[in-house]
Chain A
Amino acid sequence: MDFDLDQMREIPDPYEDVSLSRVPPTISSATVNRTTVERRRRAAITIALLLETAWIAGEGFAARSELGASFVVAGFGFPLLGAGVAWLVFSRPGRLGLGLSHRRVAAGIATAIVLFGVSALFAPPSAMRMFTVSSTFTCATTAVLLGAVLFTAGVFAYRGMIAGSAWLRMAAFGVACGSLAAFILRLHCPGDSILHVLLGHGAAMLVFGLLGATAARRTMRV
């Protein structure tokens, strides 16, 4: 765009000399300060992660003595890395404290999705490779429930606190929750058909990514 901003100087300001009220609104001191906000966030995230850990401890890991190093790195590591990337683009304050730019957040979301997609390609040779609708549906439901714990905690901790680009940042948060849920589910589920992993384990990423984007304006935005 070859547009010289200097040109705009010629447009006069129609409201420059309008006198304005200086009456401040009546405020209550019962709002949360930064310390409270940070404490609430830490508590919510810790509780959510503890619940997820309790679930995997109760349900147990899949018997996978045959797993190779590449599977451990890609199958488990990539979704976890994706969750980390999505969380970072959601939570980083950016240059002005309004969050990262749209491009970076979008890139973070895309990275998390690609990492998850790549992780689905890695399967141990002896794993159950047959795709079944019922097992995929069960896994999708479980993933959504696991993600819901994280997502609800996030909504509680960040509600009404996101000033800029709330929809995109909440989409990133939703993808982070879904990605972490996919990671946790993969620890448990031996079903390694690519389609099963993509649909069953990845359902939470889709659900909470969309939910975050759509609910952001009403619940999360300042």
Chain B
Amino acid sequence: MVLGRVYGHDGSCARTRLHAVVAVAQECVWVPWPSGSHAVGWSLLNAVSMNAKDLSSNPVAAPSASTAQSRAAEAVLNELMDRYARGDDSAFGELHEHLGPRVRRFLLRLTSNSAVAEELAQDAFLRMHRARGSFTPGGAALPWVYTVTRNVFLDHERKRKVQSAVVLNEALAQVHPDSVSRQPDNVLDSRRALEQVREALARMPVSQREAFVLLRFEGLSVADAAEVLGTTEASAKARAFRAYEAIRQATKTVENEGKE
């Protein structure tokens, strides 16, 4: 028996939701937390929320937990969404707890602006609430949520009408603040690289940006990303590839300038 802890991106441990994991080969069996079956859902959902990269067969999203764990977490999320669609309002809080960070981060990656991302996230959740009755029984919650969120973003883009200028936002200052003091050179390079990635993302066409974000950062499989984007797998992959090339080109230019 292995006692497991769930770690967030910031390294914090979800001690209050600590659960026991019985690992047999690659299969994980989740032992219910004594306070009730809800706690199992919370623990599994944290695995989904805290690690966006273990949800699919996407090789870019290297799973840190087992596939079985991810599947179980997805199943719990789908069940929660199903409850919500059936009219259980209490499920909204739980859903928001777990989907909120993903939705906000997804929008931040698309908009490069935290204020806009926050505003759009609120809109996305309101739309989901209004349309919850249309969530298909047996459907997958995450692709549905990503699709609705993408719709909100696309509507925002249409309203804006002008091609987004490169927006350097306050987020940069928050990247790895502890390591800055310890390794200034590395951090400077790293910050420059992150800045380049952000600028390249903001500059590229929306179709490429969203494909790249879904595949590289949100951890969707090519098939799922294609469905969210409403296109074919080949097209989704091609868009992501063009985005990747654009980012590579941008970072190379900076590297060369640095050498000169």
Contact = CB atoms under 8 A, between A and B. Distances in A.
Interface string B115-156: 000100110011111111111111110011001100100000
A76 B146 CA distance: 42
B234 A1 contact: yes
B125 A93 contact: no
A222 B216 contact: no
A18 B102 CA distance: 12
Contacts of A38: 133
A27 B234 CA distance: 39
Given A8-B212, A18-B114, A33 B240 contact: no
A12 B194 contact: yes
A51 to B, nearest CB: 25
A3 B151 CA distance: 27
Contacts of A163: 131, 134, 144, 147-148, 151
Given A5-B222, A25-B126, A98 B93 contact: no
Interface stretch (B31-39, B64-72, B103-111): B103-111
Contact of A1 (B93, B194, B228, B241): B241
A3 B59 CA distance: 12
Contact of B125 (A19, A24, A94, A221): A24
A17 B105 CA distance: 10
Contacts, number: 186
A29 B88 CA distance: 9
Interface residues of B, number: 78
B144 A13 contact: no
Interface residues of A, number: 52
A63 interface: no
A155 to B, nearest CB: 14
B193 interface: yes
Contacts of A7: 244
A27 B228 CA distance: 25
B93 to A, nearest CB: 7
B147 A98 contact: yes
The winner among A32, A98, A160 for most chain B CB atoms within 10 A is: A98
A134 interface: no
A94 B215 CA distance: 21
A36 B87 CA distance: 9
A53 B132 CA distance: 33
A200 B223 CA distance: 41
A193 B215 CA distance: 53
Nearest to B10: A17
Interface stretch (B21-29, B40-48, B171-179): B171-179
Q: Which one of B97, B136, B148 has the highest number of Cβ atoms from chain A below 10 Å of its Cβ?
A: B136
Contacts of A222: 127-128, 130-131, 134, 147-148, 151
Contacts of B147: 98, 163-164, 222
A103 B234 CA distance: 12
B163 interface: no
B108 A15 contact: yes
27 contacts: A5-B58, A7-B244, A13-B109, A13-B217, A14-B195, A16-B217, A17-B9, A17-B175, A18-B105, A18-B114, A20-B101, A21-B104, A22-B101, A25-B125, A33-B85, A34-B134, A34-B137, A35-B86, A35-B133, A36-B133, A97-B135, A97-B139, A98-B143, A98-B228, A163-B144, A163-B151, A222-B134
Given A3-B241, A97-B138, A160-B130, 19 more contacts: A1-B234, A4-B59, A5-B60, A5-B215, A12-B193, A13-B109, A13-B217, A14-B195, A17-B175, A21-B104, A21-B121, A22-B97, A27-B89, A33-B132, A33-B133, A34-B87, A93-B139, A98-B147, A101-B226
5 tightest Cβ-Cβ pairs between the two chains A and B = A97-B139, A33-B87, A97-B136, A37-B133, A161-B134
